[in-house]
Structure 1
């Protein structure tokens, strides 16, 4: 798993650096490969920094993230920023919904890690699997809702279309304007539920399963 994480980090780092150099150079000479190239370069640059952020946080905090969460995080950054935003893969049908499923499962796992970190070990081993599963489900779904708040705020303040309430320059109305947001929230619930169900049966089988999602010093 550590090897997979290193490979994904390398892909994100080298891929983002190559994108910045190639697309930045093309933009300078007036041959931008994508519309809104300047903003795309900024977003890919942020994605590059986000991909390296866990290593910096670990050094500063003197702890280790669960390796499975690091793998999921790097894969998500590659799919959402480098591929999704930088190379415009969000134009592929259901790309966004797949990433919501993926990220919700990752965030539900983060919820388990936080629960484990804040609970004394003696008490944690006596915590019922159902409670842990419900917490993971609620945590992953909550952060999915917070993301929709972020998109709504960005659309209102910056005139963006992250919630897909416009088609071209035409404002959607009624149910049509809600389809993207409700689809995202449904994907968040399903992704969180998938991790929660996995956690429930994993903990029923072996309480030590939770160590997979525990922070380490």
Structure 2
């Protein structure tokens, strides 16, 4: 069922973003075309990487959450310019921390031998999911910094912007990691 959900949501999101890319290309709005093309790539990623190659089993809520996050960041944020709203970027960084920590749970379950079961400390699960979320935030900030340096873009708004983004990623990851750690205790 989840495989069908991935295929359906990926197809719909890729179609939506490809349509936007065509529309904005005709209207000569280059930045929006680039955001829509990025949407096509991000929308196809779960289909290509997760469903076909890695064979990880992600839950339906995680899959849906991923596409909601893409819609909010790429369409609402970049294309409709909701990043102009002062709290929007911070909110999305918080949500990305939650999303990454939530994605770390099935990854962890796939990596740990089944015989370990309840022997694994809930603290370890907490630290793994939190670390995964924080690493995702750090890698994103490295990406933004690199784009600014090499392509003269303006993705970062200075040290304060970077640090508040990383704090929001960490808080979101902390919330989900706490839930994951408590879930394994019971």
TM range (shorter): 0.7 to 0.9
- Do the aligned partners of residues 160 and 62 (structure 1) sit closer, same or farther apart at CA in structure 2, a change above 3 Å counting? closer
Pair 1:137-2:138 in alignment: no
> Which of 161, 170, 181 is the matching residue for 1:189?
170
Of Structure 1 and Structure 2, the greater helix share is in: 2
- Do the aligned partners of residues 47 and 138 (structure 1) sit closer, same or farther apart at CA in structure 2, a change above 3 Å counting? same
- SS of the aligned residue for 2:76 comes to helix
Contact kept in structure 1, 2:145 and 2:155, CA below 8 Å: yes
TM-score using structure 2 length:
0.86
Pair 1:112-2:101 in alignment: no
Shift of 1:144: 0.8
Structure 2 residue aligned with 1:34: none
> What is the distance in 2 between the residues matched to 1:125 and 1:111?
18
Q: Mark the runs of 5 or more structure 1 residues left unpaired by the alignment.
A: 28-36, 166-177, 206-217
Structure 2 residue aligned with 1:15: 16
TM-score using structure 1 length:
0.75
> What is the distance in 2 between the residues matched to 1:145 and 1:51?
22
Shift of 1:111: 2.2
- The Cα offsets for residues 69-92 of structure 1, whole Å up to 9 and x where unpaired, read as 322221111111122112212112
> What is the distance in 2 between the residues matched to 1:53 and 1:147?
16
> Which of 80, 88, 106 is the matching residue for 2:73?
80
The 5-angstrom pairing of residues 9-88 of structure 1 reads: 9=10, 12-27=13-28, 37-61=29-53, 63-67=55-59, 68-88=61-81
Shift of 1:203: 1.9
Contact kept in structure 2, 1:101 and 1:190, CA below 8 Å: yes
- The Cα offsets for residues 122-176 of structure 1, whole Å up to 9 and x where unpaired, read as 11332121210111111111221121122112211111111113xxxxxxxxxxx
> What is the distance in 1 between the residues matched to 2:65 and 2:96?
8
Structure 2 residue aligned with 1:31: none
Pair 1:99-2:92 in alignment: yes
The 5-angstrom pairing of residues 105-184 of structure 1 reads: 105-165=98-158, 178-184=159-165
> What is the distance in 1 between the residues matched to 2:15 and 2:52?
24
Paired residues in the alignment total 184
> What is the distance in 1 between the residues matched to 2:13 and 2:34?
15
